[in-house]
């Protein structure tokens, strides 16, 4: 269950999560109704064969938000609408007005929804209760907000805010390429994105390239700044850190996974538990380094 992206939120570590399981149970995913477009709620992190809606190791809690969405393509609705409008025009001898069009479209949607396919979805997240951190496995701010919103609905109140820094992340990332000391255990990867300071300025994307070479240096001399930067920590995790403070292409490396593979486990649940424990531990360690390095704001 290793995450591939991390969108982060801060909340006060003093928040009380003692009744989390009870609250999640009251906000569990319900099947989408025949006339509903979508449904969202919490599902067991370990899958359908499990009942628990959270799994805690130390101060890290694994939760999953599931969804069911009815697929009703707009092209299908519009095609049927045009046919109905043409029939009505032929019958009444005049072109239907806007109100009629709107009513017919609403009727069509209600007629088609019960027969639409249902697409399931799932988004995993970790609550780091020690740091007051919510880490959502997505690079989409909108999808991450859905998870934070689901927690807010379940708990009644969940004052969490997107990660913010007191120093411009671009300045920090640019400094790391330009020669400023990297945080302990960090090393540069082979990928970055450079942007002009102007909003509509040039964008340069570099992959599989030496980031402290002459070519990158020339871009920095021309005034470009680093908007995304590939980094590695202790040969345990690699990721691309963006100026939006989202961690993309997050990967647990062999240096950390070797310990997992050296131990035999009896079932899938034990394997998932071990992977979550590793993931949560690496996230906690990584955030402990990033927080001072990026001057991250407290909740």
Both 85 and 180 in a single domain?
Answer: no
pLDDT value for 283? 95
Both 201 and 288 in a single domain?
Answer: yes
pLDDT value for 158? 95
* Under-50 pLDDT residues of the chain: none
21 within some domain: no
pLDDT value for 199? 67
pLDDT value for 212? 81
67 within some domain: no
Both 207 and 274 in a single domain?
Answer: yes
246 within some domain: yes
| Integer Cα distance of 297 and 77 in angstroms | 47
Both 110 and 176 in a single domain?
Answer: no
218 in Cβ contact with 209 (< 8 Å): no
Name the domain boundary from 99, 114, 129. 114
How many domains, in total, are found in the chain? Answer: 2
Q: In Å, how far from its chain's centre is CA 39?
A: 18
Q: φ and ψ at 166, to 5 degrees? A: -85, -15
Both 259 and 188 in a single domain?
Answer: yes
Both 175 and 98 in a single domain?
Answer: no
The domain containing residue 85 runs over which residues?
A: 74-114
The residue among 11, 5, 3, 4 whose CA lies nearest residue 164 is 11
| Integer Cα distance of 238 and 223 in angstroms | 27
pLDDT value for 264? 62
Q: φ and ψ at 96, to 5 degrees? A: -60, 145
pLDDT value for 142? 95
Q: What is the reported pTM? A: 0.86
The residue among 3, 27, 42 whose CA lies nearest residue 136 is 3
pLDDT value for 221? 87
Q: Please report which residue ranges of the chain form alpha helices under DSSP H.
A: 20-26, 74-92, 98-112, 141-155, 169-178, 214-221, 254-261, 268-293
| Packing angle of the helix pair 214-221, 169-178 (nearest 10 deg) | 140
Both 198 and 110 in a single domain?
Answer: no
Both 94 and 175 in a single domain?
Answer: no
260 within some domain: yes
88 within some domain: yes
Residue 224 parent element (H or E): none
264 within some domain: yes
Q: Could you count the other beta carbons within 10 Å of the beta carbon of residue 276?
A: 22
205 within some domain: yes
């Amino acid at each position: 269950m290793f995450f591939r992206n991390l969108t982060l939120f801060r909340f006060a570590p003093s928040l009380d999560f003692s009744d989390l399981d009870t609250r999640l149970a009251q906000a569990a995913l319900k099947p989408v109704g025949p006339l509903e477009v979508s449904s969202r709620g919490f599902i067991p992190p370990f899958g359908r064969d499990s009942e628990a809606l959270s799994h805690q190791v130390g101060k890290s809690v694994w939760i999953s938000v599931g969804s069911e969405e009815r697929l009703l393509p707009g092209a299908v609705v519009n095609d049927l609408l045009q046919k109905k409008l043409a029939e009505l025009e032929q019958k009444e001898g005049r072109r239907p007005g806007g109100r009629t069009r709107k009513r017919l479209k609403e009727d069509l949607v209600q007629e088609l929804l019960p027969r639409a396919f249902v697409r399931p979805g799932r988004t995993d997240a970790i609550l780091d209760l020690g740091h007051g951190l919510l880490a959502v496995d997505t690079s989409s701010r909108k999808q991450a907000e859905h998870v934070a919103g689901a927690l807010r609905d379940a708990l009644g109140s969940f004052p969490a805010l997107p990660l913010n820094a007191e120093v411009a992340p671009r300045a920090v990332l640019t400094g790391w390429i330009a020669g400023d000391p990297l945080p302990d255990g960090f090393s540069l990867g082979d990928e970055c994105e450079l942007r002009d300071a102007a909003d509509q300025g040039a964008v340069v994307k570099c992959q599989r390239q030496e980031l402290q070479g002459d070519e990158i240096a020339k871009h920095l001399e021309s005034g470009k700044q680093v908007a995304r930067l590939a980094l590695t920590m202790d040969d345990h995790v690699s990721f691309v850190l963006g100026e939006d403070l989202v961690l993309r292409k997050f990967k647990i490396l062999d240096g950390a996974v070797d310990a997992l593979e050296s131990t035999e486990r009896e079932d899938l649940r034990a394997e998932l538990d071990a992977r979550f424990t590793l993931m949560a531990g690496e996230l906690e360690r990584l955030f402990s380094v990033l927080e001072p390095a990026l001057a991250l704001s407290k909740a």
